[in-house]
Amino acid sequence: MKTLIEMAGFGRGNPCPLDRGSALLDLNTWPSLVIECVKTRALRIIGPVRRWRNRRRAIRTLEALNDHYLMDLGIERSDIPFFVAYTQNNCDPQK
């Protein structure tokens, strides 16, 4: 399981502009670089959370349907997590 620091990409060649040593010398651009770096690292954390939330929302929506509607869609109730995972970039349905 990844820690929050690993998910943010610290120490892995992150495209964060503050990782470039020469960028820190210019005090006029430093505040905007800090904002860009925080934004870049926050998006690395937010992206997986958004995908998980979307997956959970799709699963809840399908689980709310009755069996007749699910049969019309061609899926069984037990297949809902796998169906959602397959339709959303083939990710692992257990996550």
- What pLDDT does 57 receive? 95
Task: Say what the pLDDT of residue 56 is.
Answer: 94
Q: Is residue 24 part of a domain?
A: yes
pLDDT in the model for residue 23: 46
- Give pLDDT, residue 69: 94
Residue 93: inside a domain: no
Q: How many CA atoms lie within 13 A of 6 on its CB side?
A: 3
Spans in the chain with pLDDT lower than 70: 1-30, 89-95
Domain membership flag for residue 1: no
Residue 66: domain span = 15-87
Give the pLDDT score at 5: 45
C-alpha distances in Å from residue 78, one per residue of 41, 59, 93: 37, 11, 12
Number of domains the chain is built from = 1
